[in-house]
Amino acid sequence: MKLPDLTELALRNLRESLLRNSLTTIGISVGVASLVAMLSLGIGLQQLASRRLMKSGLFDTVVVTSRRDLRNFGRDREEERNGPAPGESRILDEPTRIEIEHLPDVVEAYPDIRFITELRYNDKPHLTAVAALPPSAKTNDAFEGVQGHFFSSDTAPEAILQKTFAEELLGKTPKPGLDETNVAELAAPLLGKELTMRYAQREAAQNAPSPLRRDDSPSPGDGDLASAAYSVVSREQKLKIVGVADLDPESMRGPTRARVFLPLKLAENLHAMQPTDLREISRSASDQPVYSSVSVRVKSPARIRATEDAIKKMGFNTFSILDATRSLQQFFAVLDLFLGIFGSLALAVASIGIVNTLVMAILERRREIGIMKAIGASDGDVKKLFFAEAGAMGILGGFVGVALGWAIGQVINLGTNVYLKRQSLPPEHFWSVPWWLVGAAILFAFIVSLAAGLYPAGRAARLDPVQALRYE
């Protein structure tokens, strides 16, 4: 029998026992709906997590550190052992930074400047970590929610505050529990106000002798002595508050866990004393600054790996968020698997419903099968007919189930967002039904139904026509 004929006959037969076949189809629908619901929850959560990570702005960033930097313990230990010994490894200085910037796929490489210092606001001192931001951070999602505006130029004496620091300046204590800070409210009294930053400036020793002169080399050679020495001068810098950012200081932004941000060039020109200065000084051959770490922005997250490899070959350690998200992806793969298995259970139960319905149909239509065989239907024709009925129920159930699953998702999304709104949290999209899932769910329902039809169809095909015709 040809496919159109099969389909026509199958649909006719399904209509004949409408109630029973509808119930079976609803069973499949519920199975598919639960599968779709489970998987779309998994996918939705994964997307939510990915979006959150993307917002951190570090998805396309590789952090480069010198192998001498002892803070880089733990990771890639073996690699370190195989690589150059820390003592021989290269220094992360300005020429190196430029070299990295010229690597393919690299958009920019900027030093991470970070120091802890004192800021005065209304003559009250506040101690905090200060970090420099490159101009590119303006387009970074992390600064999406900034109140006020970004730095007017890369050298402007301006500052962007992290919201908890803004709270501190205003003398507010963050409420425990839910984070309900209204950034706009915080920013209003602070924008345009002035901060005074007191910091320690590093100066080459021979140019500016100072009372704080230090010599850090354990056994300096004569030639090294001059460059190995520097003085520290206390300085002040006035800063205008131009923005307050809604950044989470505890988020993935590890390298810049600071609460006050300055323009990069301004920060560079300050020559502020950094924690690593003492260690690097012995090897610094020139006035060129030496960086504890350099952030490298790559064209796309897909190029991270290649760039990391290239930089490692240069003799540096690298770290990217992608390394961290890899385990996250693994977690979601396992989560999806388990959600999928639970979702499939309902479909498995529904498939037993198909078997039951078709076995009942065979008993009921025994005579009909006998007639069809008597007038020339082959075993294959009968088998295909039952297969077609099972398949039709599967596809029908698949479509209804996907619609049902989608509707369940919408309702839960809506409900969750109503709840989030009550908690004054921004709405989120937990539920995602991608098109491939729609197609795959229907296909899966179809295949499961055909598998369920296997036994009944075989049984119908083997029916002895003489006995079947005798059956009343």
| One of 225, 278, 374, 407 touching another protein (CB under 8 A) | 374
| One of 283, 379, 408, 412 touching another protein (CB under 8 A) | 379
Confirm or reject binding of residue 458 to another protein (CB under 8 A): no
Please, which residue, 76 or 381, has the CB nearer to another protein?
381
Please, which residue, 354 or 463, has the CB nearer to another protein?
463
Confirm or reject binding of residue 395 to another protein (CB under 8 A): no
Binding span for another protein by CB under 8 A among 9-17, 208-216, 222-230, 351-359: 9-17
Please, which residue, 33 or 362, has the CB nearer to another protein?
362
Binding span for another protein by CB under 8 A among 8-16, 151-159, 353-361, 443-451: 8-16
The distance from CA 280 to its chain's CA centroid, rounded to whole angstroms, is 35
Binding span for another protein by CB under 8 A among 10-18, 259-267, 403-411, 449-457: 10-18
Least separation in angstroms between residue 387's CB and another protein is 16
| One of 224, 323, 381, 428 touching another protein (CB under 8 A) | 381
Confirm or reject binding of residue 300 to another protein (CB under 8 A): no
Confirm or reject binding of residue 3 to another protein (CB under 8 A): no
| Interaction pattern, residues 14-43, with another protein; x per rule: CB under 8 A | --x---------------------------
Confirm or reject binding of residue 96 to another protein (CB under 8 A): no
Binding span for another protein by CB under 8 A among 55-63, 97-105, 116-124, 459-467: 459-467
| One of 55, 202, 259, 373 touching another protein (CB under 8 A) | 373
Instruction: Show the CA angle centred on residue 148, arms to residues 144 and 153, nearest 5°.
Output: 85
Please, which residue, 338 or 471, has the CB nearer to another protein?
471
The candidate with the shortest Cα–Cα distance to 57, out of 311, 301, 292, 265, is: 301
| Interaction pattern, residues 342-371, with another protein; x per rule: CB under 8 A | -------------------------xx-xx
Confirm or reject binding of residue 77 to another protein (CB under 8 A): no
Confirm or reject binding of residue 11 to another protein (CB under 8 A): no
Please, which residue, 10 or 245, has the CB nearer to another protein?
10
Least separation in angstroms between residue 13's CB and another protein is 7
Please give the Cα distance from 197 to 126 (Å, whole number): 10
Least separation in angstroms between residue 6's CB and another protein is 9
Other beta carbons within 10 Å of 90 = 16
| Interaction pattern, residues 125-154, with another protein; x per rule: CB under 8 A | ------------------------------
Confirm or reject binding of residue 372 to another protein (CB under 8 A): yes
| Dihedral in degrees, nearest 10, Cα atoms 362, 367, 373, 375 | -150
Binding span for another protein by CB under 8 A among 22-30, 376-384, 390-398, 430-438: 376-384
Residues that bind another protein (CB under 8 A): 1-2, 5, 9, 12-13, 16, 367-368, 370-381, 464-466, 469
